[in-house]
Amino acid sequence: MLLGFKLYSALEGHAIVYEVFPTASYACLQGNSDVRIDADFSECKPGPKDMLDAMIAAVTVREFVNGKGTEVGGGDGLGTIILPRPLPDPFIEEVLQWPKN
């Protein structure tokens, strides 16, 4: 995480940077058949899961930039996380508000 914060700071003002939580993106897209990627797995070593997470991060940014996603968090002062789809209604208030206690 420290390396990520350093990278974010270095890119600030030079590029648009989005924070993605791959597990949340997988959950948001579960059951959707309208989102696809074409991937060549011939060079996915040593960690294929890392490559899948990188691909879902790219898909998440694409869906968000195209207006299909949502941005959550930010109340902690450490930034927001983007998701590839809007949150279902029961969760909106729960995750878009910073806890008051």
Three-state DSSP at 22 gives helix
What is the reported pLDDT for 3?
A: 85
Tokens 């206690």 appear where? 101
User: What is the percent of the chain with per-residue pLDDT over 70, rounded to a whole number?
Assistant: 84
> For the whole model, what pTM was predicted?
0.77
What is the reported pLDDT for 22?
A: 92
Instruction: Summarize pLDDT for 18-75 with one digit per residue, the tens.
Output: 999 999 899 889 998 999 888 887 777 766 678 889 899 999 999 999 999 999 887 7
Q: Where do the domains of the chain lie?
A: 16-29+41-96
User: Which residue blocks in 1-101 are alpha helix, DSSP H?
Assistant: 2-11, 22-29, 48-65, 89-96
Per-residue buried b or exposed e for 82-99, using 16+ beta carbons within 10 Å of the residue's own CB: bbbbebeeeeeeeeeeee
